Amino acid sequence: MTHPRPLKVGIVCYPTVGGSGILAAALGEELAARGHEVHFISSERPFRFPDQSARVHFHPVSVNKYELFRYPDYTLPLSVKMAEVSRDYRLDVLHAHYAVPHATSAILARSMLPQDLQPRVVTTLHGTDTTLLGRDANYGPAIRYALDCSDAVTAVSEFLKRETHRLLDVSREVEVIHNFYKPRQPRQSREAVRNELGIANGQALLLHSSNLRSLKRVDLLLAAVAAIRPRESFKLMILAGEDFSPFTSEVLRLGLQDQVIVLDRVKDIEEYLQAADLNLVTSESESFCLSILEAMCFGCPSVAMRVGGIPEVIDDNRSGQLVPFGEVAEFAATVEALIRDTQRRLEFGQAGKAIAQERFSAERIVPKYESLYYRICPVTKNNA
């Protein structure tokens, strides 16, 4: 499809390790590769920030601590910076990843500008902005207002779209655009990484990758892993987006200190994804679960709790296996069986890799965002 002109897109996201920030950074990188000009607006450079492109720019938001305020305010400085960048660079689109505070700040930023300089606002919902904050009477009305005022709203799964309508009682259209992942080529071989990690021949390398928030239920993960026999048949590699030390005592209590390998804030995750045999997800809530897709791209199948949007990513008994939430014994038995059944594990992995390419590749997903931008933007705009 031929588009009339490149766009100037502002992307607002959390810089911390998490699916929303990682997706936003990847989207910005892909848009720049397609000829668009991308401006990230955040308190820090996003995790996995694409710093190799001349078309990608970063604008930091400064948060001052005034004695007048009991707590530092981020929403107002963010909105002012968004208005400033929109005006100075004549942005076509402000794409807010997460409703609070990003979409609310975008709506305020737009209202600060004269009409001919107002960018279109796209809000992408990633999960807890709907499923957690949407239930809170202190946030729900603000989220609903931001969605109503956005020019377009997207959600990363059909599950999240349904929850948004149910919890926030919004009547407007919410378009589902799934997450995507474009893996980089690992610099080391699978064998070299496994040797570096101390994985013995015939030993399965289990993987868990997350920001370790309470919703990820690391307690259930460790309890399930502790039930797997024999212990020598596996090691568990945790790619930790945040500090793992709160869980160290539980690892010791369960006697897993020889099985658990913790790697902190890994940016080049491809090095480790290629080395893994099985990905484990014990979350109590997920709108999509990007870590499942990341593993799929390297032929690593997942065993996961059947929650939220995960069944939209994993084809049960084809590309992985789903277990009812909280069934720790069943989860452990499923993992144990797949450790033993190498052939079935490989078949799941091959199917998952094909599904990742067919449904969730950058080539399939990014054009959906491009088409959305062009659909809501004026055909012509003065970008002088």
Q: Report if residue 196 sits inside a domain.
A: yes
Contact status, residue 334 vs residue 306, Cβ threshold 8 Å: no
Note the pLDDT of residue 130.
Answer: 76
Which pLDDT does position 63 carry in this prediction?
Answer: 79
Provide the residue range defining the domain that includes 38: 8-182+361-376
CA neighbours closer than 13 Å in the CB half-sphere of residue 220:
22
C-alpha distances (whole Å) from 154 to each of 37, 72, 97, 119 are 21, 29, 10, 17
Would you say residue 235 lies in a domain? yes
| Per-chain mean pLDDT for the chain | 92
SS3 127: coil
- Going by pLDDT thresholds of 50, 70 and 90, the confidence category of residue 67 is low
Quick one: 164 and 210 in the same domain?
no
Query: In this structure, what token pair is assigned to residue 206?
Result: 């289990």
Q: Are 121 and 169 in the same domain?
A: yes
Indicate whether 302 and 171 sit together in one domain.
Answer: no
Q: Confidence class of residue 43 from pLDDT cuts 50, 70 and 90?
A: confident
pLDDT of residue 133: 67
Position 69 scores a pLDDT of 64
pLDDT band at 64 (very low <50, low <70, confident <90, very high): confident
Taking the C-alpha atoms of residue 127 and residue 157, their distance in angstroms, rounded to an integer, is 9
pLDDT higher than 90, residue 142: no
Whether residue 251 is found in the same domain as residue 280 = yes
Domain count of the fold of the chain? 2
The answer to the question of residue 260 being in a domain is yes
Cα–Cα dist 93/115, whole Å: 14
Q: Report the pLDDT value the prediction gives residue 384, as an integer from 0 to 100.
A: 46
Q: Which residues contact 187 (CB under 8 A, 6 or more apart)?
A: 268, 271
pTM of the entire structure? 0.93
Q: Are 207 and 159 contained in the same domain?
A: no
Query: Is residue 382's pLDDT more than 60?
Result: no
Confidence bin at 3 (pLDDT 50/70/90): low
Same domain, 165 and 28: yes
pLDDT (average), residues 184-211: 96
Predicted local distance difference test score (pLDDT) of residue 53: 78
Sequence letter at residue 116: D
Q: Write the burial class of residue 125 (CB in 10 Å: 0-12 exposed, 13-18 middle, 19+ buried).
A: buried
Residue 17: pLDDT over 60:
no
* CATH code where residue 140 lies: 3.40.50.2000
- Asked if residue 176 belongs to a domain, the reply is yes
**Which amino acid type is present at position 121?**
V
Q: Which two tokens stand for residue 106?
A: 């975008």
295 in a domain, yes or no? yes
Whether residues 176 and 318 fall in one domain: no
Question: Please, what is the Cα angle at 21 between 267 and 116, to 5 degrees?
Answer: 135
- Please say whether the beta carbons of 346 and 162 come within 8 A: no
Q: Is the pLDDT of residue 110 over 90?
A: yes
Strand partners, 57: 39
Q: How far apart are the first and last CA of the chain?
A: 25
Domain assignment of residue 383, yes or no: no
Residue type, 223: A
- Shared domain for 33 and 159, answered yes or no, is yes
Average pLDDT over residues 343-372: 98
368 and 324 within one domain? no
Per the document, the length of the chain is 384
Q: How far is CA 352 from CA 2, 114, 279, in A?
A: 32, 48, 12
328 and 370 co-located in one domain: no
Residue 317 located in a structural domain = yes
> What digits encode the pLDDT tens for the residues 237-268?
999 989 999 999 999 999 999 999 999 988 78
Query: Do residues 20 and 125 both lie within one domain?
Result: yes
Question: Per the domain annotation, does 321 fall within a domain?
Answer: yes
User: In which band, very low, low, confident or very high, does the pLDDT at 277 lie, cut at 50, 70 and 90?
Assistant: very high
- Least confident range from 46-60, 281-295, 337-351: namely 46-60
- Which residue did the predictor score with more confidence, 262 or 52? 262
Structure confidence at residue 48 (pLDDT): 74
- Pair (112, 68) in one structural domain: yes
